[in-house]
A and B are shown apart, each in its own frame.
Chain A
Amino acid sequence: MSDWRTRGKTSLSAAVLAAILALPILGFQLSETGTGLTVLARLHTVAWVFVAVGLGSFALTSARAIKWPSIALPAQTSDRLGWALAIFALALPFLPFADRSLIDKATLILIYVMLGWGLNVVVGWAGLLDLGYAGFYAIGAYSYALLAQAFDISFWLCLPLAGLFSALFGLALGFPVLRLRGDYLAIVTMGFGEIIRIVLLNWQSLTGGPNGISNIARPTLFGLTFTARALDGGKTFAEALGIPYSANQRIFFLYFLILALALLTNFLALRLRRLPLGRAWEALREDEIACRSLGINPTNIKLSAFAIGAMCAGFAGSFFATRQGFITPESFSFIESAVIVAIVVLGGMGSQVGIVFAAIILVGLPEWFRDLQNYRMLAFGLTLLVVMIFKPSGLVSRRSPTIVLKDPA
Chain B
Amino acid sequence: MLSISGLHSGYGQIEALHGIDLKVPPGSIVTLIGANGAGKTTLLSTLCGHPRATDGQILFDGMDITHWPTHQIARAGLAHCPEGRRVFPRMTVLENLELGGTPLGAKANADDLEKILDRFPRLRERLTQRAGTLSGGEQQMLAIGRALMSRPRLLLLDEPSLGLAPLIVRQIFELIETINIQEKITIFLVEQNAYHGLKLAHHAHVLVQGRVTLSGSGAELLANPEIRAHYLEGGLTTQT
Structural contact, A403 and B98, CB atoms closer than 8 A: yes
Asked if A294 is at the interface (CB within 8 A of a chain B CB), the reply is yes
Asked if B40 is at the interface (CB within 8 A of a chain A CB), the reply is no
Asked if A95 is at the interface (CB within 8 A of a chain B CB), the reply is no
Complex Cα–Cα for A297 and B72 (A): 8
How many Å from the CB of A284 to the closest CB on chain B?
9
Complex Cα–Cα for A401 and B97 (A): 13
1/0 contact trace for B97-122 toward A, CB 8 Å?
01110110100000000000000000
Within 8 A of B (CB), among A144-170: none
Asked if A296 is at the interface (CB within 8 A of a chain B CB), the reply is yes
Among B50, B87, B102, the most chain A Cβ lie within 10 Å of the Cβ of B102
Chain B residues with CB under 8 A of A295: 71-72, 74-75, 102-103, 150
Asked if B215 is at the interface (CB within 8 A of a chain A CB), the reply is no
Given contacts A282-B91, A286-B91, contact A293 B79 (CB under 8 A): yes
Asked if B127 is at the interface (CB within 8 A of a chain A CB), the reply is yes
Q: Tally B residues with Cβ within 8 Å of A.
A: 33
Size bracket of the A interface? 20 to 34
Complex Cα–Cα for A327 and B80 (A): 52
Structural contact, B94 and A294, CB atoms closer than 8 A: no
Structural contact, A294 and B99, CB atoms closer than 8 A: yes
Asked if A287 is at the interface (CB within 8 A of a chain B CB), the reply is yes
Asked if A276 is at the interface (CB within 8 A of a chain B CB), the reply is yes
Given contacts A280-B102, A292-B50, A293-B70, contact A399 B90 (CB under 8 A): yes
Asked if A283 is at the interface (CB within 8 A of a chain B CB), the reply is yes
Q: Which of B70, B105, B147 contacts A292 (CB 8 A)?
A: B70
Structural contact, B90 and A290, CB atoms closer than 8 A: no
Asked if A72 is at the interface (CB within 8 A of a chain B CB), the reply is no
Complex Cα–Cα for A293 and B154 (A): 13
How many Å from the CB of B85 to the closest CB on chain A?
9
Structural contact, A402 and B86, CB atoms closer than 8 A: no
Chain B residues with CB under 8 A of A402: 95
Q: Across the two chains, which residue of chain B brings its CB closest to A400?
A: B92
Structural contact, B87 and A292, CB atoms closer than 8 A: no
Structural contact, A276 and B80, CB atoms closer than 8 A: no
How many Å from the CB of B77 to the closest CB on chain A?
10
Asked if B216 is at the interface (CB within 8 A of a chain A CB), the reply is no
How many Å from the CB of B153 to the closest CB on chain A?
13
Chain A residues with CB under 8 A of B71: 292, 295-298
Structural contact, B86 and A403, CB atoms closer than 8 A: no
Asked if B211 is at the interface (CB within 8 A of a chain A CB), the reply is no
Complex Cα–Cα for A129 and B79 (A): 30
Among A282, A289, A290, the most chain B Cβ lie within 10 Å of the Cβ of A290
Q: Across the two chains, which residue of chain A brings its CB closest to B150?
A: A295
Top 6 nearest A-B pairs by Cβ distance?
A295-B74, A295-B103, A286-B88, A290-B86, A293-B80, A292-B70
Q: A286-B89, A293-B147 are in contact. List 17 more A-B contacts (CB 8 A).
A: A276-B98, A276-B99, A282-B91, A290-B87, A292-B50, A292-B70, A292-B74, A293-B48, A293-B81, A293-B86, A294-B146, A295-B75, A296-B71, A297-B69, A402-B95, A403-B98, A404-B94
